[in-house]
Structure formats: C-alpha cells, structure tokens
Structure 1
Amino acid sequence: MDERPAPRREPGTGPEQGLRELKKQRTRRAIAAAALRLFAERGYEETTIADIAAAAEVSPRTFFGYFPSKEDVVFAEVDDRLAEVAERLRGTPGESPLETIRRGVVDVLEAIVGEHGEYGSVRTGLVLEHPGLQARALRRLTAAQEAVENLLRELCPGMDEIDAVASAGVAVGGMRAVIVHCRRHGHGPASMRTALDRATRVVENGLASVETLVRP
C-alpha cells in the first residue's frame, strides 16, 4: 500500500473555496436584486437596509459584509462588470489594441444588458433622481476610464497621453450614454443590443483614427 502523504493543499484553494466563492456571488446578487425590487415597489428613500436584508433572507450584518451602504447596492452590477473588464481586457497575439478593447467591451455590455432585466431602468432612474447617487456614479465612471487608459498604455507603449485619455473617454462615455438613453426610454434587451451594436461601430470609427490602436 502506498503510504505516502497526500499532496498538501494550499489554504484557500480547491473545490471548497470555489463553492464558497459561488455562494458569496449568489448572496451578493440576491441582495442587489432584492434591493432593486424594493426600490421599484416602495421608493429608494422609503426602503431601509433592514427591509433589503429581510427580502434577501439575510441579516443586516450580512448586508454590510457585502455593501458598505444602501447607495453602494445600487451599483452592484456596475462594480461586478468593472471587475470583469479588468479580467477580460487582455491582449492576445495578433490582435490589435482596438480589437482587444472591442472584445472586452462587447462581453461586458452583453452582461449588463441581461443583468437584472426589468430593474435596469430602475437603477438608471435612481441615479438620475438622486444627487448622491450621481456623485457615486461619476466616481465609478472616472475609475472605469482610468482603467481603460492604463490598459491602452499597456497595450500601446509610447502612446500619446492625450490619445489615451481621449480614446478611453470615447469608449466608456459613449457606451454609458447609450445604455442610459435606452434604459431611460424603456428599451428591452433586444433593442438595447441593437443600439449598442450601432454605438460600438461609432466608437470604433472614432478610435480607428488613432494609429497606435489599429496596429497588431
């Protein structure tokens, strides 16, 4: 009989860790979905953290384990998508920086279109109505643009600083504007995808004028 000890497993790895992370993701999404539903039914100001926790079948303490405040739960989807941007926007051999950006942006936008369905318009309405949420949205938008700027500099060493800043602003700002427009006017997922496809072409046409972005 082979009595050699089993390979040592590093802490925080393996199937158990994967299941814990999956459970955390599900809990986070359940809290966010419950919050948006209550905001739609009762109103933002009228909904308390205790209400959200009860609707998601968790304790208020668990709520704070996932979100620092009621304001932050509004942006759960946005924060998740920004994390996906960081994971997906990596160049591959033979791919131009512009193609890398398009691939990552399309994946993320597809996820946004499908996430929370009917509550997407609720989130947009909340941000448009509440100055405090507008300020938080602006900070996240700024962070997203800075992330894209950093990626452009990584993909295009020596890229002109203004080209990087302007390109990031066009990509992030243009897509955000179309999403807000569609949600404000009640567009469904199919209509949003069509609009975002058109917006992607507009953005690509603009970015194609930056020579360093189209070179593999």
Structure 2
Amino acid sequence: MTAAEPGRVQRPGQQRAEATRDLLYQAAAALFVEQGYENTTMAEIAQRARTSRRTAFNHFPSKSDIPMRWVRRMADLAIDVTGAPECDQATERIRGYFRFISEMVEAEPELSAQMLLGWTAAAGPIRYESQLLADLTPMLQEGQARGQIDAAADAATIARTLSDILMGASFRWVREGDDGPSLQELVEAGIDLVLRAIQSGRPQQPNHQLR
C-alpha cells in the first residue's frame, strides 16, 4: 500500500516515484526497528533501499518526513476500510477510522514507538498540522449535513480535538507499555467522549432529502 491518493490514476513516472518512495519508507522502517530512529541516517536508508542519497533526499528532504508518511499510510488504509455507504452514521465511521489506526499502531509496537519518538524529536507536533484533518473534517461535515452531529459545532475544531486524542493516547501507550491499557482502549474512551458531546438531538432525515 502506498500513500498515493485513492482513486487517482498515476502516470508511469509518478508510479515509479511512488514505488521508490515506498522502498525508502520500508527501508527506513526496518532500520528504525533494528537500530532506532536517532541512530539511523538518511545515507543508511538510501543504502538499504539500494538508491542514492540524492534520491532519498528528493523524496524525504528530512528524516522527520518519514513519520509523517507513516501516519498518512495508516490513515489512507483506514479510509479505504471504513469507506461507508451513504446511509452510515458519521460517528460510527469516525469510530471505525480510529479503531483501525489504533490496531495498526499496536500491531507493530517497536516501529510505532520509533516513529513517535522521531516525530517528537523533530518537533513535528508543533511544526506541522495533523495528517488526519483532511479525512476527519469531511466526515464531520457530512454528519452535520445529515443531522447526526450538532450543526453549531466547528468541524475543524472537532477534527483537531479527535486527532489530539489519538496523539496523546499514543504517547501514553508508548510510555506505559504493558503496564497500561491498550491503545485502542485509550483512544476509544476519548473519541467516544467527544462524539457523544457533539451528537445532534435531531432525528436523522431520510436519505432522499439530503441529495
């Protein structure tokens, strides 16, 4: 699975570039697990991917860009899996989206820990907007249009809050390890609290009225 935008046809040159980017990502992920994010250089990543340092830097200008791709890859998969028919509840789709990402993070604990460490070392949470906002905001707006989510609530603010819950829960999960609750438990508790607070009390309109 690459981070290419779903549904968009790529030209041969774009496909090659995406394939190279994915090879570099896979090489970086393996090295992060083997020797840690801090101890891995871009030169080593290029060598593992059997490409040049120049090519590596063309695709990832900074090593801190690799954790961003890690998040985007998971988010793209979550969107594919939770893509729902129009009758689905927006809140349940959002819950499924976060559940899938949480499961993926927990499935590779060492890689996830190294990606999160790298992300914080590069001041990523401070310097960059969340990778999840582009997914969450439309879901929330769709829920508002259907009367499932309070129309007075700001979708962008809710999306940031939900994304912050995942980030905070992930850091806690890494810090506490096996001594604490699972990441899925941490995330679901926070997500559920927010979604319950923003659910609209109005009955859902029939689908034909929303077209």
Larger Rg over CA atoms: 1
3-state DSSP of counterpart to 1:212:
coil
1:148–1:168 CA contact under 8 A, matched in 2:
yes
Identify the residue that residue 203 of structure 1 maps to in structure 2. Answer: 191
Q: 1:164 aligns with which of 147, 155, 165?
A: 155
Which stretches in structure 2 are left out of the alignment for 5+ residues?
Answer: 1-8, 205-211
**Deviation digits for residues 25-64 of structure 1, max 9, x if unmatched?**
7514422214414652xx62x6432122123333223423
Question: Which one-letter code corresponds to 1:182 in the other structure?
Answer: W
Q: Does 1:73 align with 2:61?
A: no
1:58 aligns with 2:51: yes
- Contact 1:174–1:199, Cα closer than 8 Å, also in 2: yes
2:103 corresponds to = 110
| Residue matched to 1:32 | 28
Is the 8 Å Cα contact of residues 133 and 160 (structure 2) preserved in structure 1?
A: yes
Q: CA separation in 2, counterparts of 1:107 and 1:96?
A: 17
Q: 2:168 aligns with which of 166, 170, 177?
A: 177
List per-residue Cα deviations over 1:7-32 (Å, max 9, x = no partner): xxxx969xx99x97995575144222
Whether the 8 Å contact between 1:53 and 1:59 is mirrored in structure 2 is yes
The partner residue of 1:148 within 119, 136, 154 is: 136
Native 8 Å contact 1:175 1:196 kept in 2: no
Q: Contact conserved, 2:68 with 2:131, CA < 8 A, in 1?
A: no
Structure 2 residue identity aligned to 1:180: F
The separation in 1 between residues aligned to 2:201 and 2:104, in whole angstroms, is 25
Answer whether contact 2:27 2:49 (CA < 8 A) is retained.
Answer: yes
Aligned-partner residue type, residue 119 of structure 1: L
Name structure 1 gaps, 5 residues minimum.
Answer: 1-10
Kept after mapping to 1: 8 A contact 2:33/2:111? yes
Q: Which has the larger share of helix?
A: 1
Instruction: Tell me whether 1:127 sits opposite 2:115 in the alignment.
Output: no
Count of paired positions: 192
Query: Aligned partners of 2:151 and 2:161: how far apart in 1?
Result: 15
Query: Which stretch shows the higher mean deviation, 19-28 or 75-84?
Result: 19-28
Amino acid at match of 1:83: D
CA distance in 2, matches of 1:12, 1:178: 36
> Residues 163 and 210 of structure 1 are in contact (CA less than 8 Å); yes or no, is this contact kept in structure 2?
no
Counting aligned pairs with the same residue, the percent is 19
CA distance in 1, matches of 2:202, 2:160: 17
Mapped to 1, the partners of 2:10 and 2:151 lie a distance apart of: 42
Q: Does 1:96 align with 2:75?
A: no
Q: TM-score, normalised by structure 1?
A: 0.67
Between the aligned partners of 1:184 and 1:55, the Cα distance in structure 2 is 30
For 2:194 and 2:43, how far apart are their aligned partners in 1? Answer: 47
Q: Which amino acid aligns with 1:156?
A: Q
TM-score of the pair, normalised by structure 2 = 0.69
